[in-house]
Amino acid sequence: MLLNQFGVKVILIMEKMEGETPQNMLLEGMLEIISDLFNANLAVEVWKGMTQKVKLGYDNGGTPPYGYRTEHIALGHQNTKSV
């Protein structure tokens, strides 16, 4: 809907929508809201996973903070974790 205000035509490949009918505008709006909800939920779940990983003492990646170093521990057959 926002793209339409700037003259950008949106073509949905997976949905069979042709023309600018009120029904298609409603469907497009609903799909946008569902996508936003999915993305917001995914962000929350990723944050929970990263928080849990830190609570267990594991590294989330990136450069360690000043004064820390990353070590790799063996978990089993060719599996390691960074702590």
Nearest to 28 by CA among 43, 46, 12: 12
pTM passes above 0.85: no
Q: What is the pLDDT of residues 42-82, one digit of tens each?
A: 999 999 999 998 898 877 878 877 888 888 888 777 777 77
**Residues 5, 11, 15: CA angle, nearest 5 degrees:** 125
Measured in residues, the chain has a length of 83
Which pLDDT does position 50 carry in this prediction? 92
Q: What are phi and psi of 72, to 5 degrees?
A: -105, 130
> Which residues neighbour 13 within 8 Å (Cβ) at sequence distance 6 or greater?
none
Does 23 have pLDDT greater than 80?
yes
